[in-house]
């Protein structure tokens, strides 16, 4: 394969939370990307560093984002919703890559050759870049959601199953951005319905 092949990396954020979407990103890095040595798995970076790197990636690279909302997650399951979000992210790139590297052990449906790489977000810079975009986009969406649905502290835990979140669910019930197929959400909804 030619060294100048157009390669995209794909990763997602938000498979585990009780609330909010799964967000996937596809990124094509340019030759000579200025922050190449700084790229890492988004989970190993501080929020401030992620935001700074996301700005550089958006300025220099080609980016596509795909989202699967909570209702879709509930309808088809989180794995299938993740695969759909990844496919959407790749389709939302302004050009079709010649090859795609996907973090994990499964491949979404794509219109080009692809390879799944376990731990790819830590070993492949193009996947690390996608990880950073997916995480920062999802975090921003959850901060917006916290304004719309106060009382759940979504801006802090971003929808994950933190104690404050579980307590709020049990006291306030679920919102439209909660995943009703997840046991703690279903239990809170049931309690509210019979409470």
Half-sphere exposure of 95 (CA within 13 A, CB side): 12
pLDDT value of residue 1: 36
Binding-site positions read 11-12, 103
Q: Check whether 2 has a pLDDT greater than 80.
A: no
Backbone CA torsion sign across 60, 42, 141, 182? positive
> Residue 13: which of 166, 129, 114 has the closest Cα?
129
Question: What is the extent of the structural domain holding 116?
Answer: 7-150
pTM score of the predicted model:
0.95
39 in a domain, yes or no?
A: yes
Q: What's the CATH number where 40 sits?
A: 3.30.420.10
Sheet holding 7-13, edge to edge: 62-68, 22-28, 7-13, 99-103, 114-117
Other Cβ atoms less than 10 A from the Cβ of 49: the count is 14
**Domain tally, the chain:** 1
* % residues pLDDT > 70 (the chain): 98
Taking only the tens place, the pLDDT of each residue in 113-141 is 999 999 999 999 999 999 999 999 999 99
Is residue 180, in this structure, part of any structural domain at all? no
Annotated binding site for a divalent metal cation: which residue ranges? Answer: 11-12, 103
């Amino acid at each position: 394969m030619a060294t100048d092949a157009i390669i995209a990396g794909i990763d997602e954020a938000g498979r585990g939370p009780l609330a909010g979407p799964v967000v996937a990103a596809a990124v094509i890095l340019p030759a000579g990307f200025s922050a190449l040595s700084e790229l890492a798995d988004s989970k190993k970076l501080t929020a401030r560093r992620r935001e700074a790197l996301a700005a550089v990636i958006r300025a220099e690279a080609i980016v596509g984002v795909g989202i699967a909302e909570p209702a879709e997650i509930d309808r088809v399951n989180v794995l299938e919703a993740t695969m759909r979000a990844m496919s959407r992210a790749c389709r939302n790139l302004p050009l079709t890559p010649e090859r795609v590297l996907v973090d994990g052990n499964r491949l979404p449906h794509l219109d080009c050759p692809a390879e799944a790489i376990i731990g790819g977000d830590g070993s492949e810079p193009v996947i690390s870049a996608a990880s950073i975009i997916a995480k920062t986009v999802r975090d921003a969406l959850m901060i917006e959601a916290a304004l719309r649905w106060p009382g759940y502290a979504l801006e802090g835990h971003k929808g994950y199953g933190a104690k404050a979140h579980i307590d709020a669910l049990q006291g306030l019930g679920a919102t439209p951005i909660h995943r009703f197929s997840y046991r703690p959400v279903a239990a809170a909804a049931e309690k509210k319905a019979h409470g």
